[in-house]
Amino acid sequence: MPTMDIKKAGNKVLKEIAAPVGKIDRKIKQLLDNMAETMYAADGVGLAAPQVGVSLRIVVIDIGEGLLELINPEIVSKEGSETDTEGCLSVPGMYGEVERYASVTVEALNRSGKKFRVNGSGLLARALQHEIDHLNGILFIELAKTVHKG
């Protein structure tokens, strides 16, 4: 499977609000596969479709517990607060302290179009929020209290 080119900060696709996926077809499933391959090749824990130049509401995440594919993800509940360091494949070499919800529940569709929920805390909660921000045109450096080179 081919890896895709990761768009960097400054690319206009990263500032757009991504469109919802209407129909999960072969092209969407291929995009999910290519995004996962790209994320693993870049040693990332998450990747949103806008980061590979596709303005659709699709996210892949793997914090070391197996691949999560989320189509049209939405945060349906959130609680607590945690500040931790984040980086981003679209902002290479930069890190920042970002305050996020400590735990979230996200509702999404899987590649078969079936609705499911994922509950996340710690790194998973952070990754879910970070990637969903990408779908809304937000980069972590816009939310960070401090930003530094890594």
So what's the pLDDT on residue 29?
98
The residues that are catalytic are 131
- Whole-angstrom Cα distance, residue 118 to residue 124? 10
Q: Which domains does the chain have, with CATH numbers?
A: 12-149 (3.90.45.10)
Euclidean distance between CA atoms 52 and 109, whole angstroms: 20
- As a whole number of Å, the CA-based R_g of the chain is 14
pLDDT at position 150 is 82
The pTM for the full model equals 0.97
- pLDDT, averaged in runs of 10, over the chain (150 residues): 91 98 98 98 97 98 98 98 97 97 98 98 98 98 94
- Asked if 47 contacts 35 with a C-beta cutoff of 8 angstroms, the reply is yes
124 alpha carbon, distance to own chain's centre: 11
Which pLDDT score, from 0 to 100, does residue 134 have?
98
